[in-house]
Amino acid sequence: MSRVVFLEDRCKGCLLCVAVCPSQILRPSGRSNRNGYEMVEMSPEGKCIGCASCAFMCPDVAIRVFRTSPAGKRRKA
Amino acid sequence: MSELLKARAGEKLIFDHPSVLSEAVTHYCPGCHHGIAHRLVAEVLEELELASRAIMVASVGCSVISYDYISVDSVESPHGRACAVATGVKRARPDTIVFTYQGDGDMGAIGLAESLHAAARGEHITAVFVNNTVYGMTGGQMAPTTLLGQKTTTTPMGRRMELEGGPVHMAEMMSQLAGVAYAERCSLDSVRHIRAAQDAIRKAFSIQAKGLGFSFVELLSGCPTNWHMDPVRANTRIREEMIPVFPLGVYKDITAQAVPVIADKVVEGRS
């Protein structure tokens, strides 16, 4: 499964990533960073598809996206 | 944290910080689209390998310290005069890639004359124009691009046509000038529009690199703070209120093969 990593010191809690996530797996974390902004997290049970929509939308470059190729689409050796 | 940022087996990092963008956390408000615009410019400069010879001319407004965020050589210009300063930079150093990054108060109000004349002269520079319909830095006053009916601190009853006039359409004005090679209006309200905006910025820089003339990209952007709404609602406002007034699209592209329908004279001249 793909995953996203939030750089918590960069996040400003604008929630634009939450709004654009097609899988709806992002949510406010309830925790604040040192600037006082409530950070966003990926819910543990969420299934990330690695589309990077959240990272494209993020105004603060606070998201890194790691994509794992789906098993069915892996190239055959 | 550092463990999380390493690609595990079978994983590929598909979105990373562009090297041309500084690691500094910006001073912009949460949900401000300047951050997206900065990133798009940085990604394009990196991709086209132009960063080492790029010179940015920064403007006045919220983006006044954009040279702290975009890691290229920069010149700060007086309010509104970015295109005039860029003209001098480009003429002195024609081998460089010169671009301005301006807001709507800067380019559309105090700097309108300098911007239009730089475009009319066909200076080989690129202008990235961020249109969020207010003066952001000074507290949300009416800008030339403010929509009719929009409440700002200087139009508390909403902008009225009979008193304050209507919004200025920069992309359309630019497209009428002979020196302009490329003029497009994009929006930063959705992932699809952001990708289109990146294509437009890439095209604008490649047109400058080819020396074809003035290139202009307008980016419809959100200002949640001065619009008094949350960032998600601000994006909805761009879609529902701004795009109908400021239609997206390519207004001029001299490299396009098809001749625009509106340019009747061009069609006559070709026959």
Whether B264 has a pLDDT exceeding 50, the answer reads: no
Sheet holding B11-15, edge to edge: A3-6, A63-68, B11-15
> Which chain B residue has its CA at the smallest distance from A9's CA?
B25
pLDDT one digit per residue (tens) for chain A, 77 residues: 899 999 999 999 999 999 999 999 999 999 999 999 999 999 999 999 999 999 999 999 999 999 997 655 555 44
Q: What is the pLDDT of residue A73?
A: 56
Tell me what ipTM this predicted complex has: 0.90
* CA distance to partner chain A, nearest, from residue B37 (Å): 8
The amino acid sitting at B134 is V
Between B270 and B158, residue with greater pLDDT: B158
Taking CB atoms and an 8 Å cutoff, what residues of chain B touch A65? 13-15
Tens digit of each residue's pLDDT (9 = 90 or more) over B15-43:
999 999 999 999 999 999 999 999 999 99
DSSP helix/strand/coil, A16? helix
Instruction: Tell me, yes or no, if A27 comes closer than 8 A to chain B by beta carbon.
Output: no
**Burial class for A31, CB neighbours closer than 10 Å (0-12, 13-18, 19+):** exposed
Domains along the sequence of chain A with CATH? 3-71 (3.30.70.20)
Whether B154 has a pLDDT exceeding 60, the answer reads: yes
Q: Do A61 and B21 touch (CB under 8 A)?
A: yes
> Which chain A residue has its CA at the smallest distance from B7's CA?
A66
CB atoms < 10 A from the CB of B92, how many? Answer: 9
* CA distance to partner chain B, nearest, from residue A63 (Å): 8
The shortest CB-CB distance from A66 to any of B12, B25, B232 is to B12
> Which whole-number Å values give the CA distances from B16 to A13, A76, B13, B42, in the listed order?
19, 28, 7, 12
Q: What is the pLDDT of residue A69?
A: 77
* CA distance to partner chain B, nearest, from residue A56 (Å): 6
Structure tokens, B76 = 């700060």
Say how far apart CA B110 and CA B191 lie, in whole Å: 32
Q: Do A5 and B5 touch (CB under 8 A)?
A: yes
Flag the least confident range among B4-8, B156-160, B190-194, B263-267: B263-267
Domains along the sequence of chain B with CATH? 34-270 (3.40.50.970)
Structure tokens, A44 = 């543990």
Instruction: Tell me, yes or no, if A31 comes closer than 8 A to chain B by beta carbon.
Output: no
Q: What is the pLDDT of residue A74?
A: 53
